[in-house]
Amino acid sequence: MTKSKLTSIDSLSFQDLQGDADFIPLMTNEDEDAMDKEELPEVLPILPLRNTVLFPGVIIPITAGRDKSIKLINETNKGSKIIGVVSQKEEEKEEPGIEDINTTGTVAKILRVLKMPDGNTTVIIQGTKRFKVSEVLTSEPYITATITDVAEAKPAKDSAEFKEVIKSIRKLALDIIKDSPTIPTEASFAIKNIKSDAFLINFVSSNLNISVKEKQELLEISSLMDRAMETLKYMNLELQKLSLRNDIHSKVHSDINQQQREYFLHQQMKTIQEELGGSSSEEEIEAMRVRAKSKSWNKEVGEHFDKELAKLQRMNPQVAEYSIQRSYLDLILDLPWNEFSVDKFDLKRARKILDRDHFGLDDVKKRIIEYLAVLKLRNDMKSPILCLYGPPGVGKTSLGKSIAEALGRKYVRISLGGLRDEAEIRGHRKTYIGAMPGRIIKSLKKVKTSNPVFVLDEIDKLSVGSQGDPSSAMLEVLDPEQNNAFYDNFLELGFDLSKVMFIATSNSLSTIQPALRDRMEIINVSGYTIEEKVEIAKRHLLPKQLEEHGLKKEHLQIPKPQLEKIVEGYTRESGVRSLEKQIAKMVRYAAMNIAMEEEYTVKITNDIIVEVLGAPRLERDKYENNDVAGVVTGLAWTRVGGDILFIESTLSKGKGLLNMTGNLGKVMKESATLAMEYIKSNAELLGVDPEVFDKYNVHIHVPEGATPKDGPSAGITMLTSLVSLFTQRKVKKSIAMTGEITLRGKVLPVGGIKEKILAAKRARIKEILLCEDNKRDIDEIKPEYLKGLKFHYVKEMSDVLSLALTKEKVKNAKKL
């Protein structure tokens, strides 16, 4: 249906028509019949309509502009008010002749004539009956012609089919009105109120959105049923077109709606942010884009970044995800993709730096320089990862720092001690609350180059927890075949670690996962002798502490003997960490005196040492006398380096029970049982009365009961202690031993020799008993470490006993 083709000459809207109640003829079927029966005049003035067809019963306004039409209307309006209305065959014809008009038309009644301010005349006419032009009489001043009636074939009054068709027309008309965006909904009232079937057909036909030619064809159909069917066909078509258009419209509309909504919200957000004084998200995003241009990442990372940035742009800055996304993008921007520092491969300079920072450690330094040489020649980092292994405080971590300086690389360190969660290394997926990248990626972000010296401290203390196994993540980090694309869960991108120089440090090798250990080149950094410690204190620790406390070299003097006293009496360690603490105390003492302006230079004496550090804590002398049977010095290895230990045993009246105390582990207890059984089975050979075993209980104790002790290496010490006890023979002075025993009295080699030797030296031991197979370990130790020590290599327990025990009995020897 249309609103625009209702008029003959100019347009007048359907709405205008509906707006005036007079224009809706509330006709009934009876009115229609009466109209049909009306007598027609023989001759009628003929008014050609340019762009519409008038149907019987329908009221339309027409605007007459042509002279002929105005004249016809004016004259007829004064008289009969009846005219014949026909449509033109071609709209454009200004002066249509008889051949230019259709011969079937509608008789119309002039209802009202309105003179318009623009000079046009608007006439409201109502169709009554169809007619056919028989003969044109005049063409001037307007066309007149004789006409004939065109009978209308109406269906039978009770035709059910016709009734259904009418019903359909009414329903379709209502549907069309509902769907059409241009027809006002009031039109549905008109449709509902039309009582006459023929008028309904004509009214709808008149308003159909079809061409004049098609309307004319409808008018010419004489059978009302046929015309109704034809109208129905057009209506169906119209409804389909409308629903198609609505579909397209709603689709386009919803797209635009969503966009508009977002735009609107963004604008609001921007305003709020500006009000709050924060930088607007747009500026932030733009800044990121600018930064991204300067990055030298590869295409894949670039594309990923662009995608993620677009995601950020679509986000509402007020939601939590926005800040997660922003810090994610910041991380990508902060990471040093393909950014490297230039290596300094001057090996002489490197050696100088290592010597400047660390005293001694010649082997270690040599290994490091060799490593750097390989690096220089190959110029790729696919060489094994270094692992500095040794007791605490021997300078493993600080060596890493010196290596970085020697190479001209940045230095970064992470401590892996007690780390149980795999995510600490590999990061959490972004979807977790509080997700973060792992420590590797975080450190690289901090250090800002892709080739730093990366110290992984305490790699032996990685432990398997409920949150996965961090060692397996470490494997990926350290594997030269895989680490060129290390995947961090948070970063979601592979990062190239192949140019990073990893240096791990460890106190123990046994607790490092075997696969991890395989990937590393182990460099042993064993502890220091007393002399070395004194040198380290003099050259490094003291100057360092003076500087930290704001003092100058001349403010404090610690002579060598006093340094030695501090080392011996107040520290018991392989490294120098607690020595550094004791020196710090001395420096503080000097600082206090100088600040109180009592003296300018403080010279440390033995008395001052006792005043500041208290009485010496470590007095070994009480163990050094050999007046008691059953007390023997053993050598032990612990994670904190080598140490000496004492085995004491006593006899008491009883029934041959063996007691052990001193927090001993299973293996150590087994060693004691073994020693006991060996003595029992060789009693006579050893000069022991076999009856003693049933009359006495034996108690073995290893002092410092709070420290757990374990391992087989105290075997020969226990045996010597027990034989000394049963024979009441003296143990040689200043002798120490280490070695495992078998039931047959063989001595087996043990580990940790280097550390044990250093510990023995610290304890001023003179002679050491070892298994013959341990000789090769001794050969590897620098001769200066061995100065003042005598080694006895043994195979059998009998050798041990003859070397360790004197013939002499102890004072006050027991009679067994």
Ligand X SMILES: Nc1ncnc2c1ncn2[C@@H]1O[C@H](COP(=O)(O)OP(=O)(O)OP(=O)(O)O)[C@@H](O)[C@H]1O
Query: Which of 3, 130, 295, 358 touches ligand X (CB under 6 A)?
Result: 358
**CB–CB of 471/464 below 8 Å?**
yes
Residue 395 among known ligand-binding residues: yes
The burial of 482, by beta-carbon neighbours within 10 Å (0-12 exposed, 13-18 middle, 19 or more buried), is given as middle
Residue nearer to ligand X on the CB measure, 161 or 521:
521
Q: Look up residue 236 and give its two tokens.
A: 């169906």
Which of positions 380-419 make contact with ligand X (CB under 6 A)?
Answer: 392-398
Q: Binding residues for ligand X, how many (CB under 6 A)?
A: 20
| Secondary structure of 100-134 as H, E, C letters | HECCEEEEEEEEEEEECCCCCEEEEEEEEEEEEEE
Q: Which stretch binds ligand X (CB under 6 A): 125-133, 172-180, 571-579, 802-810?
A: 571-579
Cα dihedral 279, 281, 286, 287 sign: positive
Q: Which stretch binds ligand X (CB under 6 A): 434-442, 574-582, 706-714, 802-810?
A: 574-582
Listed in order, strand segments (DSSP E) in 374-484 are 385-389, 411-415, 453-457
Query: Which of 57, 61, 360, 427 touches ligand X (CB under 6 A)?
Result: 360
Residue 393 among known ligand-binding residues: yes
Q: DSSP letter at 278?
A: P
Q: Which of 5, 295, 756, 761 is catalytic?
A: 756
Residue number, nearest CB to ligand X = 395
Q: Which stretch binds ligand X (CB under 6 A): 190-198, 226-234, 563-571, 575-583?
A: 575-583
Q: Residue 572, SS3?
A: coil
**CB–CB of 791/757 below 8 Å?**
no
Residue 641 among known ligand-binding residues: no
Residue 5 among known ligand-binding residues: no
Residue nearer to ligand X on the CB measure, 463 or 806:
463
How far apart (Å, rounded) are the C-alpha atoms in residues 423 and 402? Answer: 30
Residue nearer to ligand X on the CB measure, 291 or 577:
577
Residue nearer to ligand X on the CB measure, 394 or 406:
394
How far apart (Å, rounded) are the C-alpha atoms in residues 516 and 536? Answer: 32
Which of positions 295-324 make contact with ligand X (CB under 6 A)?
Answer: none
Residue 397 among known ligand-binding residues: yes
Listed in order, strand segments (DSSP E) in 525-611 are 556-557, 602-603
Q: How far is the CB of 481 from ligand X (least distance, A)?
A: 29
Residue 120's nearest CA partner among 15, 5, 8 is 8
Residue recorded with tokens 């975080």: 442
Q: Residue 355, SS3?
A: helix
Q: How far is the CB of 392 from ligand X (least distance, A)?
A: 3
For ligand X, what does the binding mask look like between residues 576 and 615, x meaning CB under 6 A?
A: xx--x-----------------------------------
Residue 95's nearest CA partner among 128, 40, 140, 51 is 140
Residue recorded with tokens 């500095």: 388
How far apart (Å, rounded) are the C-alpha atoms in residues 564 and 562? Answer: 5
Q: How far is the CB of 358 from ligand X (least distance, A)?
A: 4
Residue 113 among known ligand-binding residues: no
Residue 152's nearest CA partner among 117, 192, 120, 199 is 199
Relative to beta strand 641-653, strand 696-701 is antiparallel
Which of positions 522-541 make contact with ligand X (CB under 6 A)?
Answer: 536, 540
Calculate the CA 366 to chain-centre distance. Answer: 42
How far apart (Å, rounded) are the C-alpha atoms in residues 465 and 472? Answer: 12
Q: How far is the CB of 330 from ligand X (least distance, A)?
A: 32
Residue 182 among known ligand-binding residues: no
Residue nearer to ligand X on the CB measure, 194 or 455:
455
Entry field: residues in the chain: 816
Residue nearer to ligand X on the CB measure, 460 or 740:
460
713 flagged as catalytic:
yes
Q: How far is the CB of 454 from ligand X (least distance, A)?
A: 15
Residue 392 among known ligand-binding residues: yes
Calculate the CA 259 to chain-centre distance. Answer: 29
Query: Which of 104, 507, 713, 724 touches ligand X (CB under 6 A)?
Result: 507
Q: How far is the CB of 391 from ligand X (least distance, A)?
A: 7
Q: Which stretch binds ligand X (CB under 6 A): 40-48, 572-580, 597-605, 786-794?
A: 572-580
505 binds ligand X (CB under 6 A): yes
Q: How far is the CB of 508 from ligand X (least distance, A)?
A: 10
Q: Which of 450, 713, 721, 724 is catalytic?
A: 713
448 flagged as catalytic:
no
Which of positions 539-568 make contact with ligand X (CB under 6 A)?
Answer: 540
Query: Which of 44, 172, 361, 520 touches ligand X (CB under 6 A)?
Result: 361
454 binds ligand X (CB under 6 A): no
Residue nearer to ligand X on the CB measure, 337 or 359:
359
How far apart (Å, rounded) are the C-alpha atoms in residues 110 and 23? Answer: 12
Q: How far is the CB of 627 from ligand X (least distance, A)?
A: 39
Q: How far is the CB of 542 from ligand X (least distance, A)?
A: 11
The burial of 497, by beta-carbon neighbours within 10 Å (0-12 exposed, 13-18 middle, 19 or more buried), is given as buried
Q: Residue 31, SS3?
A: helix
Which of positions 714-753 make contact with ligand X (CB under 6 A)?
Answer: none
How far apart (Å, rounded) are the C-alpha atoms in residues 230 and 212? Answer: 15
Residue recorded with tokens 């050491």: 768
Positions touching ligand X (CB under 6 A) are: 358-361, 392-398, 457, 505, 507, 536, 540, 575-577, 580
Catalytic (active-site) positions: 713, 756
Annotated binding-site ranges for ATP:
390-397
Annotated binding-site ranges:
390-397
